[in-house]
Amino acid sequence: MAKKGYSRIALAADHAGYQVKERIKETLQQEGFEVIDFGTHTAESVDYPDYAKLVAQSVSQAESDRGVLVCGTGLGMAITANKFRGIRAATCNDAYTARMAAEHTDANVLCVGARVVDADHAVAIVREWLKGKFGGGRHQRRIDKIAEIERAQPALPAR
């Protein structure tokens, strides 16, 4: 797996993604990445926002360079992670989308669905994302617009 300018990867899963998370962790470590594993560590039912939050905070605060989240579909993890400042989380259950997530949208968190793809496929998706090189140029202009939308969000009135 090609290593880029980053080497520390935050990783987490819920119960649905736990086993696939273990496979991804093993692969990343074998390939020289430092992995911060935020859990979960068993197949006991947990709530995905609790885990997405830990990875998103780690990436948002630059404790980690990138994040990987695994749940049943990759959806709940991405929805949660995208609530955090500076996070561009993408659900990718195929390799092409994962490559585009890196090259076009510079996704800093990858979310995978363990009920959609098997462990081998999930590992291939992570590899493809890590291989992708952000294209800059027009893609940078577009993600700058995303950041501007995030900055411009007014505080919600108290309910």
Which residues sit at the interface with ligand RB5, rule CB under 6 A?
14, 16, 48, 71-73, 75-76
**Cβ pair 44, 15 in contact under 8 A:** yes
| Tokens read off for 39 | 């859990």
Q: Between residues 18 and 129, which has the closer beta carbon with respect to ligand RB5?
A: 18
Q: Catalytic residue at 41?
A: no
Pairing of strands 34-37, 66-71: unpaired
Rounded Cα distance between 28 and 144, Å, is: 29
Q: 113-142 in b/e burial notation, b at 16+ Cβ within 10 A?
A: bbeebebebbbbbbbbbbbbeeeeeeeeee
To the nearest whole angstrom, how small is the minimum distance from the Cβ of residue 113 to ligand RB5?
6
Q: Which is nearer to ligand RB5, 71 or 123 (CB)?
A: 71
As measured in angstroms, the least distance from the Cβ of 103 to ligand RB5 is 25
Q: Which is nearer to ligand RB5, 75 or 124 (CB)?
A: 75
To ligand RB5, the closest distance from the beta carbon of 88 in angstroms equals 18
Q: How far is the CB of 122 from ligand RB5 (least distance, A)?
A: 13
Three-state SS letters, 72-103:
CCCHHHHHHHCCCCCCCEEECCCHHHHHHHHH
Question: Of 72 and 135, which CB lies nearer to ligand RB5 in the complex structure?
Answer: 72
Catalytic residue, candidates 15, 41, 104, 111: 104
Pick the catalytic residue from 15, 71, 92, 111.
71
Structure-token pair, residue 108? 């800093």
Catalytic residue list contains 104: yes
Which of the residues are catalytic?
Answer: 71, 104
